[in-house]
Structure 1
Amino acid sequence: MADSESFTRIALALPGATSGPHFDRTAFKVTRTFATLAADGLSANLKFTPDEQEFKCQLAPQVFEAINNGWGRQGWTTIWLGAATEEDVAAALAMVHVHAVGVAKKK
């Protein structure tokens, strides 16, 4: 089982990743935000592509859930940390981090 501490540790170990406040959450970014951690530490949101989101939600629906709004249609997905392993978290964060790094390189 993953938790907010392992999520934060894994996210900040990614190259160039920083964290800071984002409304009532903690945001993790490399130029662009790739993940946010809920204040209660029970879940986080990740910025997948829509195809990645669909894959993750089908593969592990108890772990990943598309956000049911416009942000979700853009790929933002909730990961439920209590249902996730640290390996789930690490793989998901690595996937979304790549997109944030790609955006940073384009600038």
Structure 2
Amino acid sequence: MSASRFRKIALGLPGAVEGAHQGHADFRAGKRIFATLGYPDANWGMVKLTPEQQAVLVEAEPDIFRPVPGGWGKHGSTNVRLAKASATTLRSALTQAWSNVAPKPKPASRRRG
């Protein structure tokens, strides 16, 4: 997996936009970050998962996923080793991360008539 492929998959999610955060490319749904590239270096990406989602991925694919060191990792921020991730695996992780932060549709209001 390359950084450009990570970017393409992330930006393919509904409403996703690219920005920058602390010198790294980030990907947002609404105003919330769901993924970044280049942390801790160019070989890695990050997806913002729940701690439960993180535990499942780290256990299933420890060569690909690891908790971000420190407090962010304890809250679900998960590094992705780009060279080891397949497009299918990365798409699944990015979709979970996007779903965690994407704005939820508002229920349709009912009109009284």
Measured after TM superposition, the shift of residue 41 of structure 1 is 3.2
Question: Distance in 2 between the 1:74 and 1:90 partners?
Answer: 21
Q: Hey, which of these two has a bigger chunk of helix by percent?
A: 1
Question: Distance in 2 between the 1:60 and 1:42 partners?
Answer: 17
Spell out, residue by residue over 1:26-73, the C-alpha distance to the aligned partner (whole angstroms, 9 max, x if none). 010012100010075311111100000000000000000011200001
Residue pairs, 1:48-87, within 5 angstroms: 48-87=49-88
Spell out, residue by residue over 1:55-106, the C-alpha distance to the aligned partner (whole angstroms, 9 max, x if none). 00000000000112000011000000001111111111011110111xx238
Question: Distance in 2 between the 1:24 and 1:74 partners?
Answer: 22
- TM-score w.r.t. structure 2 length? 0.86
Moved over 6 A (4+): none
- TM-score w.r.t. structure 1 length? 0.91
Bigger CA radius of gyration? 2
The residue that corresponds to 1:29 in the other structure is 28
Question: Distance in 2 between the 1:80 and 1:41 partners?
Answer: 10
Aligned length in residues = 104
Matched, 1:45 2:46: yes
Aligned-pair identity (%): 33
Q: For CA contacts below 8 A with separation 6 or more, give which structure has more relative contact order.
A: 1
What letter corresponds to residue 7 of structure 2 in structure 1?
A: T
Residue pairs, 1:10-29, within 5 angstroms: 10-29=9-28
Say which SS state the counterpart of residue 105 (structure 1) adopts. coil
Question: Distance in 2 between the 1:17 and 1:80 partners?
Answer: 22
5+ long unaligned stretches in structure 1: none
5+ long unaligned stretches in structure 2: 107-113
